[in-house]
Structure formats: C-alpha cells, structure tokens
C-alpha cells in the first residue's frame, strides 16, 4: 500500500520528522496532546518569529494572560538554554513594547527521545538568570492512559509514545488496530502508518517488533528514503544548520576575517564538534584570539584570515 503522499510531505519539510509528528498530534483536533500539555482553550499563533532566519518554534499558543511556547526535543542539546533564550527574546519583541507590559511568556521543552535527557534548563551568567520547564513525554503517560480514546488511532499512537517502557505486545496491538482502521478509513491511512513507524524509530523499538509492525502495515522502512533518513536521525541535519548560523554570526562579530570558505568548512565537520566549538567560543576570554587559533588549527579545513 502506497504512502507516497506522507513521504512527500515529510521529505519536503525543513523540520525534523519527529517534530513534525508531534506538531501534527498537537494540531489535530481529535488528539489529546493539547489536553495533556494543558493547552486547551488557547489560540494557535504563528510560529515563525522575527530574527530567527526562517526558523520557527514548535508550538506557540496564546491565552488571555499568557503565551505558551513549547519545544519538542529528541536528544540532548548542550546549547538548549541559549536556543530557548533566543526564542524568548524573539517572542518578547512581538508581544511587548520595549520589553514592558504584555502577557507572561511560559516556555517548556519536552524531551521525546529514548536516550537520557542531560539538557540544562537554567542559565545563570553575569546579571542573567533565565530558566524554563523541562519535562519528558513519559511524564504524561498516566494522564494519557486516563484520557485517551482507545478507538482513536492518534491517541493509540500517543499512548505508546508516552509509555516509559517498550511493550512488544502493546506496539503490535497498536499496529493491528491501525491496520484494521486504515482499511476502513483510507483517507487517514498514509499518515497514520507513517506516524507509528516514525514513533517506533523515535522510541528505538526493538527491530523484531518493528519488522512485525512493518509486515502488518505493509510498509518497509528499508524501501523508504524518508524513513531511512529518520533512522539515521535527520534531526541532526536541521540542528547542524542552526549551529552553523549562530556560530558564524558570532564569529563574524569578532572582526576576524576568516575568509569566505569559513561556513563551508564548518559543514564538513560533525554537528557535535560545531557544538563544542560554540561552547568554547562562548566561554573564551578573548574571542578574537580564540577565532584566530581556530582558523590556524586542524579543526577546520585551511582558511585564509587577516585581522
């Protein structure tokens, strides 16, 4: 059974496939995700904010007295605090006048990955004291179990995503339910099958269980470029560009001419190394000297520079 429409939608998206799945759950009026996150009754706001170079936040919901910003994160990010602070400032700019008045801004990061969450949620430096809430999607499991509709496919998928442990029988039962549901409801079949398969990759469900799910849903991960990319963690590609933009902007501000190939050279190294460089740069006493040392080192491809 073809799921080409879903694959095209995922392939064309500039967002992580995992982020797209969570946001689709959030925006679907039949889903309980908004209820789980206490976002019922709020108005969905435009997620593209000024000053983010085309990037957008995952969710921005407005209430009479507050604006709630939510980010879904699949893996630990050493610079999450800085990203959230950047988002906070962008939201502040469009909701207040010179930072005064306006609604309260409430921010949270929800870790939806299977690995350990080592992200900091508090930044104290110089005169700055900034924080936001940090939770795991598994924290919502009990509430999800109480509220979910067992006859609704998205709720069934959300339930296994929220569960702290991997239950083979529960994943297989969910796939059986979806197989039957999609035979009777062709309109949603492509999206729902993709959701469950991406959820299994997100939660790192054992391959034996995944193969059984594939067989029932008649979708093979190995035959899909999009799902193969998801296995390889396509989110890293998106995050790489974020760090490249931030790092290049800060390096340029030092006044050191690193040459026109600087950003191209950065693209040739792993995103984890770019993160490390950004952290080192952030803590460097003399940033211009640090940049000169970086360009002269073997950490980048050769690049000409001048002060």
Q: Domains of the chain: which residue ranges?
A: 33-140, 141-231, 235-296
Is the whole model's pTM more than 0.85, yes or no?
Answer: no
**What per-residue confidence (pLDDT) applies to 54?**
67
Of 26-30, 42-46, 165-169, least confident by mean pLDDT is: 26-30
Banded model confidence at residue 146, pLDDT cuts 50, 70, 90 = very high
The pLDDT, as a whole number, for residue 19 is 65
- Which range, 71-85, 115-129, 141-155, 191-205, is most confident? 141-155
CA dist., res. 286 & res. 119, Å (int): 27
pLDDT: which is higher, 28 or 257: 257
Q: What is the pLDDT of residues 218-274, one digit of tens each?
A: 754 444 444 444 444 444 544 556 567 777 878 888 888 888 788 778 777 776 677
* C-alpha pair distances (Å), 62 with each of 42, 51, 110, 170, 222: 5, 20, 18, 36, 41
Rg of the Cα atoms in the chain: 21
33-140: CATH topology:
Trna Endonuclease; Chain: A, domain 1 (3.40.1350)
Mean pLDDT of 49-55: 71
Residue-level pLDDT at 166: 93
pLDDT at 1 over 60: no
């Amino acid at each position: 059974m073809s799921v080409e429409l879903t694959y095209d939608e995922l392939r064309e998206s500039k967002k992580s496939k995992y982020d797209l799945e969570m946001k689709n759950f959030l925006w679907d009026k039949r889903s309980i995700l908004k209820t789980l996150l206490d976002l019922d009754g709020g108005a969905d706001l435009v997620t593209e904010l000024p000053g983010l170079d085309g990037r957008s936040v995952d969710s921005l919901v407005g209430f009479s007295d507050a604006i709630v910003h939510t980010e879904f994160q699949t893996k630990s990010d050493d610079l999450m605090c800085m990203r959230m602070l950047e988002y906070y400032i962008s939201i502040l700019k469009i909701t207040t006048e010179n930072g005064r008045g306006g609604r309260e801004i409430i921010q949270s990061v929800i870790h939806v990955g299977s690995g350990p969450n080592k992200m900091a949620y508090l930044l104290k430096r110089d005169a700055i004291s900034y924080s936001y809430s940090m939770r795991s999607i598994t924290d919502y499991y009990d509430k999800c179990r109480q509220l979910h509709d067992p006859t609704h496919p998205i709720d069934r998928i959300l339930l296994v995503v929220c569960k702290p442990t991997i239950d083979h029988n529960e994943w297989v039962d969910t796939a059986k339910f979806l197989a039957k549901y999609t035979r009777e409801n062709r309109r949603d079949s492509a999206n729902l099958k993709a959701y469950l398969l991406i959820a299994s990759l997100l939660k790192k469900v054992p391959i034996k269980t995944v193969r059984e799910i594939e067989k029932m849903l008649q979708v093979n991960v190995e035959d899909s470029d999009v799902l193969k990319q998801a296995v390889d963690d396509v989110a890293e590609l998106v995050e790489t560009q974020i760090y490249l933009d931030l790092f290049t902007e800060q390096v340029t501000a030092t006044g050191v001419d690193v040459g026109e190939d600087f950003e191209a050279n950065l693209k040739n190294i792993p995103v984890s190394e770019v993160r490390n460089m950004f952290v080192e740069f952030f803590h460097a006493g003399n940033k211009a000297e640090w940049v000169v040392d970086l360009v002269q080192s073997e950490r980048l491809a050769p690049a000409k520079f001048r002060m």
